Structure 1
Amino acid sequence: MDTFALVVTIGVALFFTYTNGFHDSANAIATSVSTRALTPRAALAMAAVMNLAGAFMGSGVAKTVSEGVIETPEGSKGMGILFAALVGAIVWNLITWYFGLPSSSSHALFGGMVGAALAGSTTVYWHGVVDKIVIPMFVSPVIGLLAGYLVMTAIMWIFRRANPHKAKRGFRIAQTVSAAGMALGHGLQDAQKTMGIVVMALVIADVEDYGDPIPVWVKLACALMLSLGTYAGGWRIMRTLGRKIIELDPPQGFAAETTGASIMFGSAFIFHAPISTTHVITSAIMGVGATRRVNAVRWGVAKNIIMGWFITMPAAAVVAAVSFWIVNLAVL
């Protein structure tokens, strides 16, 4: 196996992780920044550190990505498929970041993998795609919406006799913890997805076997790139999540972040399911906002976001397929 192709593929995978970091940094901190619980730079620094820590908390999601979506292709064609899959995901990340649309970097990656595999005549494990990606893609936002509504309802009932100003100050402090939990869950989920891709590249290059533990340098490199991307910030998407869906106050921000973090930890540790942090926190914000009154949520903005979710996988798949054909003509 050409060492140069391996190095390039790993480099592109790490760049994808960087775009994932700045694209999804809003997931962890938008609510805390919008409620002024944290300053933007303090929130980004905290999120970067917690992303780094979360990346070392498990490997179940990485195994799902590396073994459960497409058959591991062989030789130079296999490396070309991985390269094209990453290009598809990166292009979609950049497009949605430019328009401030909180789409899922995770599903952009999965779409890229499927599109590149189909273009390269490699087997796609459709049962794995449905069970581990498509079903969680539909279920997790519903859970986020309902759980966000219930958590916020519980908070409103528990603190119904509390002084509103004191309660808001307390929740503003509590948001520091809930935002850290979101960032930790983001690192747990999203850094592992790139680890899975790097492991596939190493297997194709006969450097590693699937039974081997993930090398420490792979975990460290993916975690650092995710953290660097997070610290770079994604201000366009942050505005969409923090203010365009609904104007959040500290109790609502705490409820949304606590809901999102709980779902991410549960899916990673119990089901090893690679869910989208974007889907979870966005739906939790909608559920929390609906407790104020249903029309308090700007459903027009929400509709555009949800439409973006549906087109992410096919759009990234098309870009990845085209990228593979170009690479195939130029190199393979």
Structure 2
Amino acid sequence: MTETLLLVIFIVAVAFIFDFTNGFHDAANAIATSVATRALTTRQALTMAAVMNFIGAFLGTGVAETIGGGIIHIPDAETAHVGLAIVLGALAGAIIWNLITWWFGLPSSSSHGLIGGLAGAGLVGALTVHWDVILDKVVIPMVLSPVVGFVLAYLVMKILLAFLANASYKPTMRRFRHLQTISAAAMALGHGLQDAQKTMGVVVLALVAGGYHEPGDSGIPNWVKIGAALAISLGTYSGGQRIMKTLGQKIIDLDPARGFAAEGVAAGVLYTTAFVWAAPISTTHTITSAIMGVGATRRRSAVRWSVAGNIVTAWVLTIPASATIAAAVTWLLLQVIPA
């Protein structure tokens, strides 16, 4: 077994580890509101989310193809050590940033951590970084998806409040608890659709760099799909309790109706961007902004804006921070990985 093949196997394993951290880091995106409103127990919600994540991973490949070929240009197999060092450095940047933000309970974007890692590692490796793709598929959606999530969630909640103005509170909230099972499942399915595909794209990058996949072949091998689906599902099942508390309790005090509206809107945004634009948007940004939107229908002070400000700060820092970490790791790897 050649050194290149061993390195490819190692990087694929690291990619699936990233996928696992993505799952436990982002588990809160799908279920925090359902757990906070007691629509589901934590274990019920995590089990449901893990299953839906697994199914969602098989619903498309557009996002995987954007990550696998759209962000950086991987050199051919003659310079495999450069390409493999870059992919490994990018993964290291994303994983380290995931763990930092998880430790502080901040719902940052695993997606943007990975994209920042690819950009930072690509620059150090003197590769072509497709900034136009990053602008079109990452930066613009990064700005628009939270705005759309906030506005749509606000409007949907306003409509629900008007429609239910004369309804009895307790029976209505009881019905919304049942509906939240559906909206949480839809959110988890969208998370699998978006985030498992990002790991598939990185694995394909490693295979291309090692000479085990043709750059022009847009197909994703089945074993890659299954591995990514399993890793993100297991990570989701393990649960990210720190971030779950931030999303479910610290931003606003959620009731079942607002939880349902936030999850439904966020899931709709995830499906639209994945199927229409193949854009790897942040599930974290989308659900967080939707929670803020439904919270703002009460009154401005209902949203704890200081917590929201900390979250937005983490959003802004994610790409440059993960890029910096990835660049440093990639530089070190290029010194030690033999040419």
TM-superposed CA distance for 1:73, in Å, is: 2.9
SS of the aligned residue for 2:331 comes to helix
- After TM superposition, the structure 1 stretch with the greater mean CA deviation from structure 2, 205-214 or 189-198, is 205-214
Distance, in Å, in 2 between the alignment partners of 1:116 and 1:44 is: 34
1:331 is matched with which residue? 337
1:123 matches 2:128: yes
1:245 matches 2:251: yes
Distance, in Å, in 2 between the alignment partners of 1:117 and 1:205 is: 16
Mapping for residues 46-65 of structure 1, pairs under 5 Å: 46-65=48-67
Distance, in Å, in 2 between the alignment partners of 1:184 and 1:279 is: 16
SS of the aligned residue for 2:199 comes to helix
**Which of residues 264, 280, 286 in structure 2 aligns to 1:258?**
264
TM-superposed CA distance for 1:39, in Å, is: 0.1
1:218 is matched with which residue? 224
1:276 matches 2:285: no
1:294 is matched with which residue? 300
TM-superposed CA distance for 1:302, in Å, is: 0.3
1:235 matches 2:241: yes
Q: Which amino acid letter does the alignment assign opposite residue 15 of structure 2?
A: A
TM-score, normalised with respect to structure 2: 0.97
Distance, in Å, in 1 between the alignment partners of 2:261 and 2:210 is: 45
Q: Which amino acid letter does the alignment assign opposite residue 266 of structure 1?
A: T
**Which of residues 90, 93, 110 in structure 2 aligns to 1:88?**
93
Does structure 1 retain, via aligned residues, the 8 Å contact 2:65–2:218?
no
2:149 is matched with which residue? 144
**Which of residues 162, 166, 171 in structure 2 aligns to 1:161?**
166
Mapping for residues 183-222 of structure 1, pairs under 5 Å: 183-209=188-214, 210-222=216-228
Distance, in Å, in 2 between the alignment partners of 1:206 and 1:68 is: 18
1:44 matches 2:46: yes
1:25 is matched with which residue? 27
SS of the aligned residue for 2:75 comes to coil
Identity among equivalent positions (%) equals 56
Give the count of matched residue pairs: 332
Does structure 1 retain, via aligned residues, the 8 Å contact 2:81–2:337?
no
Distance, in Å, in 1 between the alignment partners of 2:312 and 2:282 is: 13
TM-superposed CA distance for 1:17, in Å, is: 0.2
Does structure 1 retain, via aligned residues, the 8 Å contact 2:109–2:284?
yes
Structure 1 residues 154-213: Cα deviation after superposition (integer angstroms, max 9, x where no partner) = 111111111111100000000000000000000000000000011111122222223252
SS of the aligned residue for 1:121 comes to coil
TM-superposed CA distance for 1:295, in Å, is: 1.1
1:133 matches 2:138: yes
Distance, in Å, in 1 between the alignment partners of 2:270 and 2:163 is: 25
**Which of residues 185, 196, 212 in structure 2 aligns to 1:180?**
185
Q: Which amino acid letter does the alignment assign opposite residue 97 of structure 1?
A: W
1:310 is matched with which residue? 316
SS of the aligned residue for 1:291 comes to coil
Q: Which amino acid letter does the alignment assign opposite residue 133 of structure 1?
A: V
Distance, in Å, in 2 between the alignment partners of 1:66 and 1:72 is: 9
Q: CA RMSD, aligned part only?
A: 0.8
Compared with structure 1, are the counterparts of its residues 212 and 63 closer, same or farther at alpha carbon in structure 2 (3 Å cutoff)? Answer: closer
Q: Which amino acid letter does the alignment assign opposite residue 59 of structure 1?
A: T
- After TM superposition, the structure 1 stretch with the greater mean CA deviation from structure 2, 281-290 or 322-331, is 322-331
Structure 1 residues 114-150: Cα deviation after superposition (integer angstroms, max 9, x where no partner) = 0000011111011011111011000100000001101
Distance, in Å, in 2 between the alignment partners of 1:327 and 1:196 is: 21
5+ residue gaps, structure 2: none
Does structure 1 retain, via aligned residues, the 8 Å contact 2:116–2:320?
yes
